[in-house]
């Protein structure tokens, strides 16, 4: 199995699609999915886009990105799909999709990007982040024609990025539908085959040997990708030394970890994503490390970011530490009402925890402070 499968699987759900309508992209109309989740796409970050039947250019569904800042705290969401094969290096491709703009506030940006990869997983030059705008309260077609796939490209990743700036009231909303990435000459995606392109390191892969019908029928000891590198959707355990190293940092307390330790965790998690495809535990840990790493430089953004993380992973084994850190920071920031609510949740969930005696004392104090703050506000 080609190495790009593992490199791109970490970035989003990747499949080969030979249908002429969408070309390289699968489920470009978002009709296949479950609730707000859509098949073949990866929706990530603090404010991820969601599948909806509120609007559609065709069919019944589209993807909707809705961002609204909590004070001056920026919001961001990504939508992406990785295609592990089918690209013909040296050809040009046309990207088309439909967008309906219902909000475009100050500082709001929406972009798309195309990343090409060879079959060794190496990233090749692509089309960088490009801004677009949908029709105002109506569907408009967005097109980018003649995008060249570098020689040696066999896979591609399409990414949509939605982000607000650090301004109070920043917001944006757009619907995306009918996404297609097709060869400019109208040809179908190429069949999967071993590359003969010269790869980094100066090693040229040999041309694939012809396989007769007889030998194809009885392959010796086939090994599936799941058996080789971990079941898709499964989680690593303590037997994986890289995962054990990451969890050791998390168990010590991410707030206590320095920047170097957190950055090493990010690198290790990247390695793990290539081994354990679409692992929920790795995704959860990655977002947690990003939360603490990002707020090392912007501590004022920890509280809203942590609240969003807790809403995404309420049953996480790391939720206890995030709740404790959030409560103390909320008190420091005079967010007494929020702190009181979170303390109540903590006491109900972790009744035997070492923080309970402190939190019971704090609970009465923050309640009084919240009431006093509210009275002063009304004066």
Mean pLDDT by 10 residues, the chain (379 residues): 37 36 83 86 84 93 92 86 87 95 91 87 83 93 93 90 87 95 86 36 35 37 37 73 88 82 84 77 85 76 84 86 88 86 91 89 87 74
Q: Are residues 144 and 175 in the same domain?
A: yes
- Domain end residue (candidates: 226, 258, 292): 292
pLDDT of residue 139: 95
Structure-token match 């060794």, residue found:
120
Are 272 and 246 in contact by the 8 Å Cβ rule? The answer is: yes
Residue 208 lies in a domain: no
Q: Are residues 151 and 244 in the same domain?
A: no
pLDDT of residue 229: 42
* 156-206 pLDDT tens trace: 999 999 998 888 888 999 999 999 999 998 888 875 433 333 323 333 333
Q: How far apart (Å, rounded) are the C-alpha atoms in residues 150 and 90?
A: 5
Q: Which of 81, 48, 53, 83 is nearest to 67 (CA)?
A: 48
pTM strictly above 0.75 = no
Q: What tokens appear for 65 in the block?
A: 């990105």
Which H or E run includes 255? none
* Phi, psi values for residue 336, rounded to 5°: -70, -40
In angstroms and rounded to an integer, the radius of gyration of the C-alpha atoms of the chain is 24
List b or e across 336-368, with b for residues whose CB sees 16 or more CB atoms inside 10 angstroms.
Answer: bbbbbebbeebeeebeeeebeeebeebbeebbe
pLDDT of residue 233: 59
Q: Please give the tally of structural domains in the chain.
A: 3
Q: Are residues 279 and 304 in the same domain?
A: no
Q: Are residues 135 and 13 in the same domain?
A: yes
Q: Are residues 53 and 175 in the same domain?
A: yes
Q: Are residues 170 and 42 in the same domain?
A: yes
Q: Are residues 241 and 370 in the same domain?
A: no
DSSP bridge partners of 68: 171
Which H or E run includes 90? none
Are 77 and 68 in contact by the 8 Å Cβ rule? The answer is: no
pLDDT of residue 267: 84
Q: Are residues 276 and 169 in the same domain?
A: no
Q: Are residues 125 and 43 in the same domain?
A: yes
Phi-psi region of 278 (alpha: psi -120 to 50; beta: other; left: phi over 0): left
Are 92 and 147 in contact by the 8 Å Cβ rule? The answer is: yes
The neighbour count for residue 60, using CB atoms within 10 Å, is 10
Spatial CB neighbours of 143, under 8 Å, sequence gap ≥ 6? 94, 95, 96
Residue 200 lies in a domain: no
* Residues spanned by the domain of 123: 4-188
* Phi, psi values for residue 137, rounded to 5°: 55, 25
302-312 and 280-297 helices, crossing angle to 10°: 170
Q: Are residues 150 and 274 in the same domain?
A: no
């Amino acid at each position: 199995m080609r190495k790009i499968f593992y490199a791109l699987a970490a970035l989003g759900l990747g499949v080969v699609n030979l249908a002429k309508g969408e070309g390289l992209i699968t489920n470009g109309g978002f009709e296949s999915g479950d609730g707000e989740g859509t098949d073949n796409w990866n929706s990530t970050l603090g404010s991820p886009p969601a599948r909806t039947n509120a609007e559609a250019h065709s069919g019944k569904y589209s993807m909707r990105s809705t961002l609204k800042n909590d004070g001056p705290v920026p919001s961001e969401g990504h939508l992406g799909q990785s295609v592990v094969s089918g690209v013909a290096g040296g050809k040009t491709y046309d990207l088309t999709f439909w967008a309906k703009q219902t909000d475009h506030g100050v500082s709001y940006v929406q972009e798309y990007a195309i990343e090409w990869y060879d079959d060794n997983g190496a990233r090749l030059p692509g089309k960088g982040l490009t801004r677009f705008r949908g029709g105002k309260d109506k569907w408009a077609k967005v097109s980018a024609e003649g995008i060249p796939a570098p020689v040696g490209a066999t896979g591609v990743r399409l990414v949509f990025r939605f982000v607000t700036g650090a301004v109070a009231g920043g917001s944006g909303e757009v619907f995306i539908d009918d996404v297609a990435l097709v060869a400019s000459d109208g040809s179908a995606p190429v069949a999967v085959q071993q590359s003969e392109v010269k790869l980094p390191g100066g090693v040229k892969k040999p041309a694939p040997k012809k396989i007769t019908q007889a030998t194809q029928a009885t392959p010796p000891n086939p090994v599936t990708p799941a058996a080789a590198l971990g079941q898709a959707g499964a989680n690593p355990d303590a037997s994986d030394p890289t995962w054990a190293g990451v969890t050791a940092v998390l168990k010590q307390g991410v707030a206590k970890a320095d920047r170097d330790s957190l950055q090493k965790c990010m690198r290790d998690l990247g390695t793990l994503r290539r081994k354990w495809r679409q692992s929920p535990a790795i995704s959860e840990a990655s977002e947690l490390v990003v939360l603490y790493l990002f707020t090392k430089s912007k501590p004022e953004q920890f509280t809203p970011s942590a609240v969003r993380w807790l809403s995404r992973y309420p049953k996480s084994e790391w939720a206890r530490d995030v709740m404790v850190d959030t409560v103390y920071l909320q008190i420091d920031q005079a967010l007494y009402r929020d702190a009181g609510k979170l303390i109540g949740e903590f006491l109900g969930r972790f009744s035997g925890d070492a923080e309970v005696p402190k939190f019971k004392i704090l609970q009465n104090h923050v309640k009084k402070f919240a009431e006093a703050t509210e009275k002063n506000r009304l004066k």
